[in-house]
Amino acid sequence: MILNNQDILSLSERYRAHFINSLSGYKSANLIGTKDLNGRENLSIVSSVFHLGANPPLMGVIFRPHSVRRDTLENILETETYTINHVNSLIWKEAHQTSARYNEGQSEFDETGLTPYYYADFEAPFVAQSQVKIGLKLRQHQTIELNKTVLVIGEIVHVEVDDNAVKEDGFVNLEQLDTVAVSGLDCYHTASKIDRLEYAKPDIPTTCKT
């Protein structure tokens, strides 16, 4: 099918949400752990975490417009501390379930059976079952005026990951850690490596690393 701008705008709201969400390709599946100022824990699945830079180590995440109750964003803005935890194939259903609208005061940890894990004096809860646990400090946030989404940028200040999955050059083997991917609004995937490729150079054929 071929759609132009008008075709897209005339799609039903729900169809368009599924369709456009699928178009960017595979997305990361992460759980964001926070606490509010009263110490109540919150956990929320997001597919909008992205790499922003390695030096300093920054990650971005997009939150939908600030119109409904969104504990995670508010907690991040108030406490400036949060965790990002990879979703794996043992907890993908529990992770998805955190997107249900629980009542205020209900913790998604309690409701889904995922286990909060704390490291030293880092204030925000990690997910014990996650194989990649990342602690961040808020560095910047801004509203994207085009659609009122909020871009939150954090600096990575803590990482926990199994030594065996980190290769000599720093590459982390996500398959070994069982990390899953998302497509669209609700489809979860495992991944299978095709190969790693050498840094590309003109006039040299593309070369596999293994």
Q: Least distance from C-beta 76 to its own copies, angstroms?
A: 16
Cβ neighbours of 31 (radius 10 Å): 29
d(CA 109, CA 114): 5
- The separation between CA 94 and the C-alpha centre of its own chain, rounded to angstroms, equals 15
- The separation between CA 50 and the C-alpha centre of its own chain, rounded to angstroms, equals 7
Q: Least distance from C-beta 16 to its own copies, angstroms?
A: 5
* Amino acid at the residue 92: W
Cβ atoms of 119 and 112 closer than 8 Å: no
At residue 36's C-alpha, the angle toward residues 30 and 39, to 5°, is: 110
Q: Least distance from C-beta 209 to its own copies, angstroms?
A: 7
Nearer to its own copies, 37 or 146 (CB): 146
At residue 94's C-alpha, the angle toward residues 73 and 103, to 5°, is: 50
Listed residue (99, 40, 30, 89) closest to 60, CA to CA:
30
Q: Least distance from C-beta 56 to its own copies, angstroms?
A: 7
Nearer to its own copies, 78 or 162 (CB): 162
Nearer to its own copies, 1 or 37 (CB): 1
Nearer to its own copies, 36 or 188 (CB): 188
Q: Least distance from C-beta 42 to its own copies, angstroms?
A: 14
Nearer to its own copies, 27 or 35 (CB): 27
**Peptide bond before residue 65 is cis, with ω within 30 degrees of 0:** no
Q: Least distance from C-beta 37 to its own copies, angstroms?
A: 24
Listed residue (118, 38, 48) closest to 83, CA to CA:
118
Nearer to its own copies, 76 or 180 (CB): 180
